[in-house]
Amino acid sequence: MVQEINSSTEKYLRGKYSIVGVGETGYTRGSGVTTRVLGTRAVRAAVEDSGLAMSDVDGMLSYSFNDSTPSPTIAGDLGMRLNFHMDVYGGGSSIEALVGIAIGVIEAGMCKTVVIYRAMNGFSQVRIGGTGRGGQSSISGDGLFTRGIGLMSAGQMFCHTFMRHMYDYGTTPEQVASVKSIHSEHASNNPKAFYKNRVSVDDVLASRMIVKPLHLLDCCVETDNGTAIVVTSTDRAKDCKHVPAVIQAVVGRCMKPRSDMHYQSGPISTVAGHYAKDLLWPNAGVGPEDIDVTGSYDAFTFTTMLQLEDYGFCKKGEGGDYVSSGVIRLGGERPNNTSGGHLCEGYTHGINMVIENVRQLRHDVDDYCPRDANGVVQHSYDYSEGGCRQVKDVELTANLGWGTPGMGSAMVMARGT
């Protein structure tokens, strides 16, 4: 049943808000510090990057799986008095949704500038899927449908969608593995990336099986990190240090029917982007063909492919061709996850792909290219290992956030002036 979607974002908000600051700690396995420290460092870095004073930032948002430190603590540590804050539950697909919420609360006059962060020891403290934990408590009624059948991790939850896509459309393991291979090329030009080594399609297929159809290297790398972005009005962005990344449209946690049990509602090889695209593109006033760089959430190789396909970057069913054709590679027509993404840079539940696209839009990606006397990066556009990862003349980016096959978020940003 296709619903008529009445877009609620009035077009005049297009371009009215911008991301003006980005910041992160390193991406490590073993940060050696609390999420409180990670959050504090990321927020400070993002605010400093924007050029605003700490006292200019009066709103704060965060997201977590109850595995982090909440806003009042981070704000307190940095001496920030907030007019608005909120800490929401959730991981993937949160960041684009929170940008929309930030726009809403600023528009409502509740505050002027919002910093959004994610602070997690995703490797050394709380691993997604509850690896090694939760074995002792009783299984509940609902839990019998998950823990009771050995279904806990994200890969185990999503495998039906991935496998069915291969069955429905003839997608091959080699096509999907090329996502990891290409993202690893991008990461080899990213000094921050946790995995900087380039891997081949054969390396992915030779890595051990986790849950079919996912090999180890089809899965992202769990890391410890703090990450943050600053959202304010495009007017106010004029006072900031960098060229703003101007928000054209956001979609937040858009759902398929029966998002609770998405596999009850078909076709299961279609994901929430199928619905989200009808909000995203009309609100942004552009289409997939206009986008220069994508940030398609790569919790798994498959999630990147499924979203690119359902947002219309290729025809339905042709995602395997699209991701293996070279289009998504640096130097290709529309590179994806130029930082290496979750598969290689580090796992943040989406925010590092937004940070990367903000830097792409500034034409100021932190690669291995030299800086001139004024601190401006001299990009070579030579994408060989240990080189450049700035895409030439980026004007428009799209972030496609994944929560589950049944839930996703998205954002289009444009280079400001």
Partner 1 sequence: MGLSGEYLGMPVLIDDLDKDNQAFYRYCGQNELRVQECLDCRLKRLPPTSACPFCASERVQWSPVSGRGTVYSYGEVHHAIQGAFRSHVPYHLLLVELDEQKDIPNQYDGLRLQGNLAEVDGSLATSETVKRVGIGTRVKVSFKQMGDQIAMPLWVIDEDSTQPEAPWRYPIE
CB of 295 to partner 1, least distance (A): 27
Cα 345 to Cα 68: distance, rounded to the nearest angstrom: 20
CB of 52 to partner 1, least distance (A): 43
Q: Could you tell me the maximum CA-CA distance found in the chain, to the nearest angstrom?
A: 64
* Residue whose CB is less far from partner 1, 217 or 353: 217
* Residue whose CB is less far from partner 1, 133 or 238: 133
Q: Which among 297, 311, 322, 383 is annotated as catalytic?
A: 297
Q: Name 111's Cβ contacts closer than 8 Å, sequence gap at least 6.
A: 58, 59, 82, 83, 84, 105
User: By C-alpha distance, which of 345, 347, 325 is closest to 334?
Assistant: 325
The neighbour count for residue 54, using CB atoms within 10 Å, is: 15
Cα 70 to Cα 62: distance, rounded to the nearest angstrom: 7
DSSP helix/strand/coil, 317: coil
CB of 410 to partner 1, least distance (A): 23
* Residue whose CB is less far from partner 1, 50 or 301: 301
CB of 234 to partner 1, least distance (A): 41
Residue 297 annotated to the active site: yes
The neighbour count for residue 246, using CB atoms within 10 Å, is: 22
Cα 49 to Cα 31: distance, rounded to the nearest angstrom: 22
Residue 311 annotated to the active site: no
Crossing angle of helices 301-310 and 154-169, in 10° steps, is 50
Residues that bind partner 1 (CB under 8 A): 1, 129-132, 135, 137-142, 144-145, 147-153, 155-156, 159-164, 166-167, 172-173, 205, 208-213, 257-258, 260-261, 263-268
Q: Which among 27, 195, 347, 383 is annotated as catalytic?
A: 347
* Residue whose CB is less far from partner 1, 130 or 386: 130
CB of 17 to partner 1, least distance (A): 36
* Residue whose CB is less far from partner 1, 11 or 212: 212
Q: Letter for the amino acid at 412?
A: V
CB of 140 to partner 1, least distance (A): 7
CB of 266 to partner 1, least distance (A): 3
Phi, psi of 224 (to 5 degrees): -105, 130
Cα 308 to Cα 67: distance, rounded to the nearest angstrom: 30
* Residue whose CB is less far from partner 1, 135 or 375: 135
Is the bond preceding residue 405 a cis peptide, omega within 30 degrees? no
Q: How would DSSP label each residue in 269-310?
A: TS-THHHHHHHHHHHHT--GGG-SEEEE--SBHHHHHHHHHH
CB of 2 to partner 1, least distance (A): 9
Structure-block tokens of residue 279: 């909000």
* Residue whose CB is less far from partner 1, 124 or 156: 156
* Residue whose CB is less far from partner 1, 281 or 302: 302
User: By C-alpha distance, which of 45, 111, 31 is closest to 74?
Assistant: 45
Structure-block tokens of residue 358: 């903000």
Contact 59, 112 (CB under 8 A): yes
Quote the radius of gyration of the chain (alpha carbons, Å).
Answer: 20
Cα 3 to Cα 24: distance, rounded to the nearest angstrom: 39
Bridge partners (DSSP) listed for residue 19: 231, 245
User: By C-alpha distance, which of 276, 244, 235 is closest to 405?
Assistant: 276
Catalytic residues: 297, 347
